[in-house]
Amino acid sequence: MKNIGIIGASGYTGAELLRLIAEHPEFNLQIATGETQAGTAIRDLYPSLSTAYPNAHFDSFSPEIVDGLDLVFCALPHGVSQNVIPDICETVGHIVDLGSDFRLKDPSLYQEWYGSEHSCPELLNDFVYGLPELFRNEIEGAHLIAATGCNAAAAIFALAPFVQSETIENDSIIVDLITGVSGAGRPPKENTTFCAVSGNITPYGLLTHRHTPEIEQALTTFSGGTSSVLFTPHLAPIDRGIIATCYGRTKSEVSTEEALNQLAEFYKEEPFFVVDERPPSTKSTLGANTVHLTARVDQRTGMLVSISALDNLVKGASGMAMQNANLALGLPESLGIPSLGLYP
């Protein structure tokens, strides 16, 4: 058994990690911190977890609380992990950071896209980017892993096969994405209350969304050619789910059948991917680590459309973090991770 800790377990991604760890045959949860909920019983904040954690409470964090653990998940808001990880990286076996603090390699991008300088830029190159389907070899056995952001993952999954094959132009990619409210986190915000969200769809982060450089970095690293992305997310009145509709101008003649075949061939060995002619839906991914994909080519405009759907809290966050953890610890990558969605 591997001894596991979660720093920031009281948020939505932390709660999802608690759910997945409870079902993992090789993971033994030792520590679950939650600063705003310290001393609160896990079952009181999340009754859905009562049978797995009948007596457990959220702890306050201190660096020594995780000493000697095999792996620690950090499920903290942006800007917090970079102040925590330097104090624990030498005392735990592996760290999987679900936040955005160590995803970008260029420290100047944090000032540009996040509005503040990175507090420990010397660690950026020590982290590997935690997107298993594209960078599995780097993740295996890695000590420090920066798990992919949920919006970025949805876009990258839809685009990577076509960027790699040079089917589309890299410099004019458009990503139009819809996401559920849980992506904004558990603490209430003015734009995520019931009255603000119900019956409403709102674009946000226009031209400035922080996942933009992450998408560009991953596609550029993977394909070897510089990618430029115009990314526009929209908040929708659903609990979970992301659907990303991605557009790229084709470089040469390609049919819808060929585009679908490219997707299917690219992901044929991946256990968490479904490629289908049918359009994907967020409902089909609910509670699962599975991505549903389709593609079309519009001969009239010369544009390729690739669409992905995933659960933002599972494949977009905690499920992908579990894949990274399995790879880091030398376990089967899909061990303990659900692939079947809930319906209705």
* Residues identified as active-site: 150
Residues 6+ apart with CB under 8 A from 281: 243, 292, 309
CA distance 330 to 192: 39
List of E strands, the chain: 2-7, 27-33, 71-74, 94-97, 128-130, 144-147, 173-179, 202-203, 229-235, 242-249, 273-275, 291-298, 303-310
Cis peptide, bond prior to residue 86, ω within 30 of zero:
no
Alpha carbon distance 221, 243 (integer Å):
24
Residue tagged 């377990």 (tokens):
9
Strands 94-97 and 71-74: parallel
Structure-derived torsion over alpha carbons of residues 91, 96, 101, 104, reported in degrees to the nearest 10: 120
Strand partners, 92: none
N- to C-terminal Cα separation, the chain = 35
The amino acid that residue 192 corresponds to is T
Cβ distance 139 to 327 under 8 Å?
A: yes
Contact 283, 255 (CB under 8 A): no
